[in-house]
Structure 1
Amino acid sequence: MPAPRGSRLSRVLADIGPLRDHPDFRRLWFGNTVSYVGQQMTAMAVSLQVYAITGSSFHVGLVGLFSLVPLIAFGLYGGAIADVVDRRRLGLITSVALTLLSLALAVVAIADVRSVTLLYGIVALQAVFFAMNSPARSSMIPRLLPPEQLPAANALASLAGGVGQMAGPMLGGVFVGFWGYQAAYLIDVAAFTASLYAMWRLPAMLPETVLAGRAGKGAADGAEGPDRDQGGEVDGAKEAVARRRPSVIEGLRYLAARPNLRTTFISDLAAMVLAQPRVLFPAVAVIWFAGDSSTVGLLAAAPAVGALLGSVFSGWLGRVNRQGLAVLIAIGSWGAAVAVFGLTRDLWLGLLFLALAGCADTVSMVFRNTMLQAAAPDDMRGRLQGVFLVVVVGGPRLGDFLAGSTADLFTPTVALVGGGLACILAITLVGVFQRGFSRYDARHPIA
C-alpha cells in the first residue's frame, strides 16, 4: 500500500522537529530570525541614508567595507573568546551592544545629524559585536540538540537567513519611505528584544573544559589525604586549561591537523571564489538581456529564492549520512549551474539556473556547518565558527574581485563559464586528494 501523500510531503518539507521538541532552540531560532530581519532593515536604511547625505554610490560602497574589515578581523578572535567563556553571557552582552548601536542610529536620524563618518563608525562597531556574537550563537546549537537533528537545525537557520535577506531590505525601504530612517532603526531595536529574551532563557553555556575543571575541583574538595593532593594537582591542571587565554592560533593549528573540517572550508572557497556571479549581474542584465535595474534585481534575487526553496524542501537532508560526498556534489552543482547561466541568453532560463545554484549552496552550507558542529570538540566550536564566518564573508568578496577582473580582461561569458568550470575542476581535485572527506559518515563523525 503506498504511503499517504501527507507523509511523503513531510519527508520532503523542512524538518521542524528541532523547533517542536526543544524549547530553548525554538526560542533562539525565532529570536535570531526576527533580529536578522531587523538587521537587514537597518543595513538598507544606512545605505539609503548615506546616499541621501552624499549622493555618491562610492560612499554607499564604503558601508560594506567598514563592515567587512571588522568582521574578518574580529571573527576569529570572537570565536576564540566563545571557547573560554560562558557563551550565553557573551551572546547576551554582544546582543545588548548591538541593540544600543541600533538605538544610536535612531538617535542620529531623529537629530538629523548628517555625518557619514559617524554612520561609518557605528556600522564598524556593529560588525565588531556581530563578529563576537555569531560564533557564540552558532556554537551553542550542538549543546541544545542531539547530533541527528543538526542538519534540520542548520536547514532551518538557512530558511531564517533567506527570509531575512528577502524581507529585511524590502521592509527597510518601505519604512524609510513612509516614516524615515529612524523607523527602520527603532524597529530593529524592538526586533532585538526577541533575541535578548531567547538568550536570557538559555542555561549557562560554559565550555566543557571549564565544566570538567569544576567537576574535578569538586571531586578534589571531597577527597582526603594523599588522594586529595593528587586530585588537587589534577584540578590545578584542568583549571589552568580553563583559565587559558583565547587563542586564535591554537584553533588554526587544530584545523590544520583535521582534514575533514579543513576541507569544508576549502570546498566552500572553491565555490565562492572561483564561481561567484553576482558582481556581473549589472553587465549581463544590459548586454545579454537588454534590461535595466529591475533585471539586475531579478538576477540578484534568483539565488536567494533558490536558497529559500532549498531550505523549505530540506526534509531529506537529515537522511543523508555521506555528508562529505554531498558537499562535493552540491558544490559541483553550483559550478555547473553558474557555467550554464553563462551560456544562456534567455532571462527566465538564466533565472532558473541561478535559483538552482542557490539551492545547491544551501545544501552545501547545511552539511558543512553540520560537520563543523558534530565532528569538532566543544572547546573548538567557537573558533571554527569564527573561521566559518570569515570564509563566508571574505570568500564572496574575493570572488567578486576575480569575476570582475576576468570580465574586464575578457568577457562576462568567459568569467562565468570559466569560473563555473574551474569550480567543478577544483572540487573534483578536492574529492580525489581528500578521499576521507568523500567517505565522511555522519554516524561516525571524524574531524
Structure 2
Amino acid sequence: MGGRFQSLREPVFRQWFFSSVLSASGTMTQGVAVSVLVYRLTDSGIAVGWMTTCTFVPLFLFGSYAGALVDRIGPRRVLLVTQTLLATLSGLLAVLTATGAEQMWMLYAIAAISGTVSAADASARQVYVIDLVGADRVSNAVALNEIVVNGSRILGPAIGGAALGLWGVWACCALNAASFLPPLIVVLRHKTKTVTHPHTQKIGGLRYVWRNPTIRVCVLLAAASGMLFSLNVPLTPFTTAIFHLDGTGFGLMMATFGIGSLPGVLLAAAGPSRPSGLRVAVLAVATGVAILATAYAPTVTLAFVGVAVTGCASIWFISLANTLVQLESDPGMRGRVMAVWGMALPGFSVVTGPFIGWVGGVTDARLGFGVAGIAMILAAATGWRGLARPTARTPVTSGASRA
C-alpha cells in the first residue's frame, strides 16, 4: 500500500491532503443544510435545482478566464484569495440564517458568487498539486484527491445531518466557514517555487485544448462522464421505478458507488507516473459497458454489483484522464487547461444533468441511467486515435521544493 500513498510522504502535501478532506466535507455539510433550507422556504424541488445551476453556471462560463488568472499570478496567490472569499461567504450565510434574515434572492446570489470564486479555486487547486509533489507523483496525487471527494460525500452529509438536527442551518454554514481555515493555513505557511507565466495570455484555454488531440479527447470524455457523476439524477428513478426501493435503498446504492470507487482510487494511485492515452480510452469504454450492464441488470442484487463495478472503473478512468491532461499541458497553459477541464466536469453538468433527467422521463428509467454509458463509449470511439497516439512528454518546471 505504501506505493499507492507515496505522495503523502511529502509533508506539505500530507497537510494539504488532510486539510482538503476537512474543507470538502465542510462544503458538503453546508450543501445538505442549504438544500433543506431552500426546500423549506419554497416547498419546491425546482428551486433546489436552481441553486445547483447558480453554483455551476459561473464555473462553465468563467472557467477559462479563471484559468488564465492562475497561469498569470500562480496557484498559491489565487488560493489565498479564493479560500478567504469562500470562508467569508459561508460566514455571511451563517449570520443570515442565524438571524432569520435569509431570503431566496440572497441564497441565489451567494451561490452564484461562490460558484464564480470556485472557478478560480478549482483550477488553482489542481495546478498547486504539481507544485507540491512534482511531476513524478502527479498521478498518485490526483488519485488520492478522489479519496478527498468520496470521503467528503460520506463525512459531509453525516456531519450536516447531525448539525442540522442539533443546531440548525447556521451551524452547518459556520462549520463550512471554519473548514476553509486549515487549507488556508497550509498555503500561508508554505511558499512553493511556482513559475508564473505573465506573458502567455494570447492563447485561450479552449483553443489550446482543441489543438491537442489527447487533451481534447480527455476533456470530451470528462464532459460525457458528467452524466454519470450527476448520479442522483438517474439513480432516483432507477431505484424507485425499476426496483421499487425506498429512500434507504437509494442511499445504499449511492454508498455502494462510493465504496466501489475505493479500489479504483488505489489502482489509479499505483499506476505509472504518466498514464498512456490508450489506457484511458480502454477504461472509458469499460466504464461505459459497466454503466449499461448496471442499467439493464435483471435483479436488484446485480444492480448493486454493477454500481460498485461502475464506481471502480469510473474513478480509475477519470483519475488517469485528469493526470494525462495535466502532464500533456505546457506549464504556461496548465491553469487554463485545467479550467477547461472544470468547465467540462463538473461545469457541463448543468447541461448533462437535465438531459439525462429528460431521457429518463420520455423513455424509461433504465435508458435514463444507461445513456451515460452510451455517451462514454461513443466519446471514446470518436477520440480513440487521439488517445492512442504517443503523448508528448512535456517537461514540468515546478517541483516540490519550497522557498
TM over 0.5, yes or no? yes
Deviations 1:47-87 (A, max 9, x none): 11112222222222221111121221222211110011132
Deviates more, 1:400-409 or 1:80-89: 400-409
Among 331, 352, 366, the residue aligned to 2:305: 352
| Number of equivalent positions | 396
Q: Distance in 1 between matches of 2:235 and 2:325?
A: 32
Preserved contact between residue 18 and residue 152 of structure 1 (Cα < 8 Å) = yes
Q: Please, which of 9, 17, 20 is the counterpart of residue 32 of structure 1?
A: 20
Q: State how far apart, in whole Å, the 1-side matches of 2:348 and 2:256 are.
A: 20
Q: Is the 8 A contact 2:26 2:156 kept in 1?
A: yes
State the Cα distance separating 1:126 from its structure 2 match. 1.2
Residue 151 (structure 1) shift: 0.9
For 1:54 and 1:418, locate their aligned partners in 2 and report how far apart those are by CA, in whole Å. Answer: 32
- 2:157 is matched with which residue? 169
Deviation at 1:409, TM superposition (A): 2.9
How far 1:208 moved relative to its partner?
4.0
CA distance in 1, matches of 2:219, 2:237: 30
Shift of 1:369: 1.6
Structure 1 pair 275–175 and aligned structure 2 pair: CA distance change class (3 A): closer
Q: Is the 8 A contact 1:270 1:423 kept in 2?
A: yes
1:389 pairs with 2:378: no
Q: TM-score, normalised by structure 1?
A: 0.82
**Per the alignment, do residues 274 and 426 of structure 1 end up closer, same or farther by CA in structure 2, a change over 3 Å counting?**
farther
Alignment of 1:17 onto 2:27: no
* Partner residue in 1 for 2:210: 256
How much has 1:407 moved relative to structure 2?
Answer: 2.6
> In the superposition, relative to structure 1, how do residues 186 and 404 fare at CA in structure 2: closer, same or farther (>3 Å)?
closer
* Superposition pairs of residues 240-319 of structure 1, within 5 angstroms: 241=199, 246=201, 250-273=204-227, 278-312=232-266, 314-318=268-272
Give the aligned residue type for 1:81.
L
2:31 aligned to which of 33, 43, 57: 43
For the residues of structure 1 that align with 2:247 and 2:107, how far apart are their CA atoms? 27
Q: Which amino acid aligns with 2:17?
A: W
TM, length-normalised to structure 2: 0.90
Question: What does residue range 3-402 of structure 1 map to in structure 2 within 5 Å?
Answer: 10=2, 15-20=4-9, 22-203=10-191, 206-209=194-197, 241=199, 246=201, 250-273=204-227, 278-312=232-266, 314-318=268-272, 322-402=275-355
Answer with 106-115 or 388-397: which moved more. 388-397
Q: Secondary structure at the match of 1:203?
A: coil
Helix, strand or coil for the counterpart of 1:317? coil
Amino acid at match of 2:218: T
Task: State the distance in 2 between where 1:256 and 1:421 align.
Answer: 23
Q: RMSD of the alignment, in Å?
A: 2.5
Q: Displacement, 1:271?
A: 3.6
Unaligned runs of 5+ in 1: 1-8, 211-240
CA distance in 2, matches of 1:58, 1:401: 11
The answer to whether the 8 A contact 1:278-1:400 is kept is no
Q: What is the deviation of 1:317? A: 1.9
Deviation at 1:315, TM superposition (A): 4.3
Structure of higher CA gyration radius: 1
In 1, are the aligned partners of 2:131 and 2:192 still within 8 Å (CA)? no
* Contact in 1 for aligned 2:63/2:119 (Cα 8 Å): yes
User: 2: CA distance between counterparts of 1:26 and 1:312?
Assistant: 17
CA contact under 8 A between 1:89 and 1:204: conserved in structure 2? no
Identity of aligned residues (%): 26
